[in-house]
């Protein structure tokens, strides 16, 4: 499927913004996925291309946070594996649904995540960690597998949910919770991407173009996240997501 130069220009701007926002709010899929669907890509290919984009930007942000000492992967090995298994299950769920069914449910899920971002309240805890063993407790492994499954299935907003739950379960501050979210989402998105590649459900030209701009946005966003809050940016991402979700719903439910 070919796109015009103007379409690439618009999508690269969206990709840069999504990568930037992902590093701060933990979510880029609720911006880039609706944009990909609006280009007319088949839903499975849009999901695979979205994984191509998000994997790159999440890797950039996760490595930056690790380098800054805000996250240590060795304390989260079992949790990481649970997320990995969940992602495999999630991609399997996408393959069980027809393209028409995916077109119907994607606007609902994306709008629901946007609503979640509006109403949930972040709580900023002090730098008090629970013992590392608790990070791999049965409750945490279950949470990680569930979020991994959702990440492999649709994925939009997974980072935001990770930030919220991590800050409450592990009493980490928002930066540390964000670092955890970036890493876990990177693992699940990379796992999902590999499967979508094997299924030939990735638009590589578009994915490579978006990935480069997304990585640049993620790097800048990671630096700003350490210095600034995210209230204004969250309002922007929620508003734009609701608009695109409404557009998708109109196209898929009433026009087609």
Residue with tokens 């769920």: 93
Under 8 Å between Cβ of 50 and 41 = no
For the stretch 33-61, pLDDT in tens is 888 888 888 889 989 998 988 888 788 88
Cα Rg for the chain, rounded, in angstroms?
A: 17
Domain extent, residue 46, equals 5-255
Phi and psi, residue 101, nearest 5°:
-70, -40
Phi and psi, residue 203, nearest 5°:
-90, 100
Question: Could you list the mean pLDDT of each consecutive 10-residue stretch along the chain, which spans 256 residues?
Answer: 76 82 66 81 90 85 87 90 96 90 79 68 50 68 93 83 79 79 93 95 88 81 64 52 56 53
Structure tokens at 103: 């077109």
Domains held by the chain: number: 1
Position 241 scores a pLDDT of 54
Rounded to 10 degrees, the C-alpha dihedral 104/247/146/102 comes to 20
Q: Which residues contact 144 (CB under 8 A, 6 or more apart)?
A: 79, 80, 82, 83, 86, 184
Position 69 scores a pLDDT of 87
Helix axes 99-119, 231-249, angle to 10 degrees: 150
Position 235 scores a pLDDT of 54
How far, rounded to the nearest angstrom, does the alpha carbon of residue 91 sit from its chain's CA centroid? 14
For the stretch 105-139, pLDDT in tens is 877 777 777 676 666 655 554 444 444 346 778 88
Position 132 scores a pLDDT of 39
User: Is the pTM higher than 0.85?
Assistant: no
């Amino acid at each position: 499927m070919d796109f015009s130069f103007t379409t690439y220009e618009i999508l690269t701007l969206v990709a840069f913004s999504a990568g930037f926002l992902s590093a701060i709010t933990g979510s880029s899929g609720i911006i880039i996925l609706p944009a990909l669907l609006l280009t007319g890509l088949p839903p499975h290919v849009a999901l695979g291309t979205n994984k191509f984009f998000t994997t790159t930007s999440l890797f950039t942000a996760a490595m930056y946070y690790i380098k800054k000492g805000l996250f240590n992967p060795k304390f989260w090995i079992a949790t990481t594996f649970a997320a990995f298994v969940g992602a495999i299950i999630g991609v399997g769920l996408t393959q069980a649904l027809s393209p028409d069914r995916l077109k119907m449910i994607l606007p609902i899920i994306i709008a629901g995540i946007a609503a979640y971002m509006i109403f949930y309240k972040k709580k900023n805890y002090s730098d008090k960690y629970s013992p590392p063993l608790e990070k791999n407790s049965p409750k945490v492994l279950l949470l990680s597998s569930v979020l991994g499954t959702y990440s492999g299935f649709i994925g939009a907003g997974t980072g935001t949910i990770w930030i919220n739950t991590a800050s409450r379960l592990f009493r980490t501050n928002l930066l540390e919770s964000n670092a955890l979210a970036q890493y876990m989402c990177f693992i699940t998105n990379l796992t999902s991407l590999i499967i979508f590649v094997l299924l030939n459900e990735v638009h590589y030209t578009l994915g490579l173009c978006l990935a480069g701009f997304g990585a640049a946005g993620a790097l800048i966003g990671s630096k700003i996240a350490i210095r600034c809050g995210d209230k204004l940016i969250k309002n922007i991402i929620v508003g734009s997501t609701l608009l695109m979700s409404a557009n998708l719903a109109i196209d898929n439910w009433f026009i087609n």
